[in-house]
Structure 1
Amino acid sequence: MIRLVCRMLKKFAGKMCCCSKKQRRHSSVQTSSYHTQAKRNIDRETSMAQSVQSVLSVKMNLIIEPIVEDVEKVEYNQLQKQFSRETQTAAEDIAQSFTEYISSKDAESVQSSPRSQKQKGVRAKICNFFARMFAKASICRIFSQVKTKYHSEANVSDDDAVNSLLVDVEPVLQTGGDPLGLIHRLQNLSRDDMLELTGDLSDLLYSHVTGDRALESVREGSLGTEESDLHPAAIIYNDIRNRVVCFLSLTGWWLENQVSRYSEKVLTLMENETTAQIPQVTEPEPEPEREDPTVAAEAEHRQVSKTCLRFVISTLIRKVRKAVNGDRSFFTDLESTIQRMVDETWAQLKGTDVNILSRNAENLVKVVFRDIRRKWGSSWGVLVAIERGDPELLQYIATSCKNHLMKPRSSICC
């Protein structure tokens, strides 16, 4: 009996030992499989981040190139390096969110399924990235233009000027800890917020151009005073403030009408990249630039021209209001007035060869202002025509633009 029990115990021990070895081998296989899958996930995320960065860079350049075309070469190079770093950081964040969005869906339904909350989150991050780049490029443009215009009074070291400016701009653009709230903030500026943001950006740009802090006397001297009576510092501050007002107005319009178009293109390209292996999936939106690059280039050019027209109209209104010493509240709804004038003037320019660009917009304002004031007799006459919505005024503005921009290049400074 004892011998039988010993044999049974030996068999049981042998089975346990064999079972333990099998379990260890199975555990080793599972661990190896886990590490392999983890490596594949990391490689896939890295590849996705690189793809997103490439797409963002292309679309970002389409947005900012018309803005920074007049920026000096040194500052332009600094700006490109900084934007390249920001694009890489944004691409990693967007790629991670996009991967989570794709993982929550079947590959066959990526493009046909309704927009989920995760997809909206990806779109919001893309829009916010473009909004930040547009705002920063515009601010750097103001800095470069003012520094060049007042070079004798400017006190700027070109070695790191743009990087220093962008570092200081960052807190001004922050929205209470919400990294995705920039668009909402700039699209919904109240009168008080507009004044506060205008003041903050004007002070910041003034300090970077001159190397001095904007004193209260400089700020007050820029309001309601003839330019010939101003101190040089107040003249610079006044110029900066006017440019900032135009920038905020233009940014609000761009965010309302353009940023979603760029974000949709990026998201579509990302989804196509992910589902390229599925034969039945077709691109939801044709890409005319592949078929005919000229058509896409012309569309982009028209959009830039319309954006510059808004700058011309808003600056004309500001010059007229300043000429009659009218304050911001003179118009019933300034934004609606600007938008109406832009839409109606653009309708008359559509189909012509008139191209309003950033390099000729400022000079165009001067000649159009001179023409309409001569036609209506005085700035008050122009102001009344604007308030009444006189269609003849808009027709005359369009005609003036055609006359001056269709003349030989030497007739209007660029």
Structure 2
Amino acid sequence: MVMAEGSAVLRRNRPGTKAKDFYNWPDESFEEMDSTLAVQQYIQQNIRSDCSNIDKILEPPEGQDEGVWKYEHLRQFCLELNGLAVKLQSECHPDTCTQMTATEQWIFLCAAHKTPKECPAIDYTRHTLDGAACLLNSNKYFPSRVSIKESSVAKLGSVCRRIYRIFSHAYFHHRQIFDKYELRNITVKAIRPLVDDVFTRLTAEEWRQLKLGAPSSVTKFLLAELVMNMTSTVTSKLSAALGKEGMSMTVEKVQSSLGDALRKSLAPGGSTDSESLDQFTKLVAEEVTERIKASRASYSTSTQSNGPPRCHQTTPNQLEKMVSCLCRVLKKSASDIQGLFKPRLRSQKTFDLLDKLSPGKTTSSDSDSTSRSRNSDRASTVRSSDRGTSEDVQEILKKELRDILEHLVYEMSESDLSGLISESSLEFKAASDEIYQIISKEGSVKSSAPSRGSESSKIPKGFWKGVGLKIKKLLAKLFGTTSLLKMGTRVQKKFSKETQVQSRESLKSLMDSVESLLLTDTKDRVSPANASVLSDVLYRYITADLSVATPVEETKVSVPKSHRKMYSDIQERVINFLPLMNWWFSKEAGDYTQRVTSALMEIESLVVSHVSEVDTAKEQEASRKKTYVRLLMEQLVTRVYAKAKVNWFFGEQKDITKKLFEKTWAEVQDIDFDVSPKTIDKLLKAVFKDLCKTWGCPEMLLLSIRQKEPENETFLCHRFTRFVMKYNLMSKDNLIVPILEEEVQNTSSAGESEA
């Protein structure tokens, strides 16, 4: 119960407080605990927060007296051991456990008597706990809870030795009672933060759709992530309580341990007899049971071999079933959890960075549009452009990518997000151009083929399957990379002292590793065997190692002792990530791909029309250039005959012109040049002057042409081509005449020798 007057909080369980409301007050830092019982409060707070986190429970605050720390831990151990002693009384009777033994090797004597003697195990337990309580509460030896004398600290060892015998007797002789006692109920504090995290990441529109039972793709991903985090949290807590070789686990035992933690977290104040909630609890219990069994089997296998440990992998169908059930739970309890929902305001800075990936204008005012409006938005954007170009393909793809990335990048730093956008942009543009070229090529073939109606000119639906595979691969790579970056960000926040600032090179290395590890399977499924390699990849990224991992050449990282906790945390996150990735591949990636493909099919006519227009324009331009080249050749031959003052026959001139034109056109047809009627006369004069200086006079030039020698014809065509190319480069600056004159002067001497 929490009672507050102003800022004061009463941290006490008042008489009449219900069990579910025990210790219902916010945590407090050790520095804020102003009490002589601060150490005890701090230890109990850590135990309530996460009883499986032994390292945190045993780690003393900075500057804490070691003697007091040991004393308070021993007091707490005795307090909790009393609960186990009560459970033992139902089975540990004086006539069954006549002696206090742990194993069959030793018989322990009870020191509570004047002369130590044998006692039944249950009596030994009572006597020892009574003696420990008397000593630990003795004003003679422990008058203060703030400081303790060294002589008093020395007495703690004998107490530890005796109470440990109680612990070991219960473990070896009453294992079922011991395991059941250790299998504590999962508290709401373990589940509620995970649920709250999802509610704070939903927008108002996404929350509205969830209440209607029609969650968006983004919401389903968040719920799938919540399910995986729930099962992982429950599994780790139960595994820590049971140990590696604890009692056998069943679905019923996990359900018993879960209690009403899920109901309090997902439907606070709601009905306890919800069928969908019971079904979801059972599904979670089944998944946790399988995980614990797989973990134990892996542990027993790894002790006999050096192979990597294997873990249970949730199938996409099983995860989809759990997500669907969770959606029904949240829909039914929407009114009860309305107060937990806090609409997320999308970061304008994040939108500005994502806009660098997308040319579309997106503001916070229109950010809450529905999926259907987004689809129509895609089509209307392209229709308004009326182009059907590569930029339209990019726009359609990037609208979907923003939906995928936005919920993954919200925790990233601006530098990491900027690096991701920068590294992805070039690859994204290349993929968009490739898709556009494929559509254009197919559309061009269909539009040029003879047909009786417009329907036959459309691209067949079978063609879009290949386009969809390219789209799916692109989306999957960015999804996988961003998910790993998100995990890396969370690990960095948790172990900030042990991480480094990442460079652009380390990000590129991570993306290359994702492509080689996640995008190699043909059945849209990531192999669990890649879990260890992915863990190494993420560890390398966090520690700024630039190595690229591949499934074939696996290089095991060397983890120093100071990084082992961080590496273990990475492994757990990756194990949760693989089923989530497989589920996204199997259940969600197809929806994104289908939306993109549908939008592309809507602009198919624009693409085909654009391609047809481009092809027609190219044909017209080629015809125009060809006409000008033919005209130049005819005028050139006519001028040569005229200047040489030689009579000519029409058939002869026509034959020479045709031959020169064919050779010249073969050389210049692929050159991008433009000749207008205004400049054709200047170009003709420059070419003629150059050729005359090369051959010495018009008569020699005419003789060379009439002899029809291939070498002379080739040289003449080559000189013409050089003038055309030079003109093409300089015509925009109106330098055509000076450049042509300079070209004539520079080549005249060389031309004479060649002639």
TM bucket, shorter chain: 0.3 to 0.5
Q: What TM-score does the superposition give when structure 2 sets the normalisation length?
A: 0.26
Select the structure of larger CA radius of gyration.
2
Higher helix share goes to which structure?
1
User: Larger relative contact order (C-alpha < 8 A, sep ≥ 6)?
Assistant: 1
Q: What TM-score does the superposition give when structure 1 sets the normalisation length?
A: 0.45
